[in-house]
Structure 1
Amino acid sequence: MRLEPVVGDDPREILRSLRSALHGAGPALGLGMVRDAPTEVPAGTAVVVTTSGSTGVPKSVVLTRDALTAGALATADRIGDGAWLLALPPSYVAGLQVLVRSIVADREPAWLTGGFTPRAFTAAALMMLSTDRGTRIPTYTSLVPAQLTTLLDAAASDESVLRGLRSFEQILVGGQAVAPATLERALDAGVRVVRTYGATETSGGCVYDGRPLRGVSVRIVEGEIQVAGPTLADGYLGDPGATDLAFPRDPDGTRWYRTGDAGILEDDLLRVRGRIDNVIVTGGINVSLDRVERVVRSIPGLESAVVVGVPDARWGEASVAVVPRGEALRRSESVQLEEARAAVTEEIGAHARPNRLVLVDEIATLPSGKPDREAIRAAVVALHRP
Structure 2
Amino acid sequence: MSSPSNVGRRLVALPARQDAWLVDAIATAWERGEAVCVVDVSSPMVRQRLDALGAHVLRLESSEITLDPSAPPLHDDAWIVQVTSGTTGAPKAVVLTESNVRASAHAVGERLGISSHDHWTTALSPAFIGGLATIARAIVAGVPITLLARHRPEHFARAVAAGATLTTTVASALLEIDTRPFRAVILGAQPATGNLAPNMHTSYGMTETGSGVVYDGVALPGVEARLVDGLIELRGPMIAQTYRTGAPILGPDGWLATGDVGVLRAGRLEVLGRAGDLINSGGHHVPPDPVEAVLRRTLADRVVDLAVYATADDRLGETVTLAVVAERPPSPADLRRSLEGLIETPWIPRRVVAVTSIPRTETGKPLRRLLPGAVARTPQASTTDGSAASIAAVS
* Aligned with 2:28 (options 15, 20, 23): 20
Q: CA offsets, 1:226-254, max 9 Å, x none? A: 111111012211142xx2xx41133xxxx
- SS of aligned partner of 1:78: helix
How far apart are 1:305 and its partner, in Å? 3.5
Distance in 1 between the 2:277 and 2:242 partners?
23
What TM-score comes out, normalization by structure 2 length? 0.74
State the Cα RMSD in Å. 3.1
Partner of 2:345 in structure 1? 349
Asked if 1:40 corresponds to 2:73, the answer is yes
Distance in 2 between the 1:20 and 1:277 partners?
41
Q: Contact 1:51 / 1:58 at 8 angstroms: preserved in 2?
A: yes
Partner of 1:128 in structure 2? 162
Amino acid corresponding to residue 234 of structure 2 in structure 1? V
Q: CA offsets, 1:278-329, max 9 Å, x none? A: 023446765432343244334242696421334567766443324454xx9x
Amino acid corresponding to residue 146 of structure 1 in structure 2? S
Distance in 1 between the 2:373 and 2:125 partners?
25
Structure 2: segments with no counterpart, 5+ residues: 1-7, 40-48, 55-70, 376-395
Shift in CA distance, 62/167, structure 1 to aligned 2, threshold 3 Å: same
Q: Contact 1:47 / 1:63 at 8 angstroms: preserved in 2?
A: yes
* Aligned with 2:228 (options 221, 234, 238): 221
Distance in 2 between the 1:15 and 1:237 partners?
23
Distance in 2 between the 1:305 and 1:128 partners?
37
Partner of 1:98 in structure 2? 134
More helix by share: 1
What TM-score comes out, normalization by structure 1 length? 0.76
Partner of 1:117 in structure 2? 152
Asked if 1:142 corresponds to 2:168, the answer is yes
Q: CA offsets, 1:211-269, max 9 Å, x none? A: 111111111111111111111012211142xx2xx41133xxxx111111111233431
Q: Contact 2:85 / 2:128 at 8 angstroms: preserved in 1?
A: no
Shift in CA distance, 4/379, structure 1 to aligned 2, threshold 3 Å: farther
Partner of 1:236 in structure 2? 243
Shift in CA distance, 69/128, structure 1 to aligned 2, threshold 3 Å: same
How does 1:286-365 map onto structure 2 within 5 Å?
Answer: 286-301=285-300, 305-311=306-312, 317-323=318-324, 325=326, 333-334=329-330, 338-339=334-335, 343=339, 347-350=343-346, 353-356=349-352, 358=354, 360=356, 363-365=358-360
Partner of 1:155 in structure 2? none
Q: Which piece of structure 1 moves more, 231-240 or 70-79?
A: 231-240
Q: Which piece of structure 1 moves more, 35-44 or 231-240?
A: 35-44
Q: Contact 2:263 / 2:272 at 8 angstroms: preserved in 1?
A: yes
Q: Contact 2:9 / 2:74 at 8 angstroms: preserved in 1?
A: yes
How far apart are 1:146 and its partner, in Å? 1.4
Identity %: 29
Distance in 1 between the 2:128 and 2:264 partners?
28
Q: Contact 2:335 / 2:349 at 8 angstroms: preserved in 1?
A: no
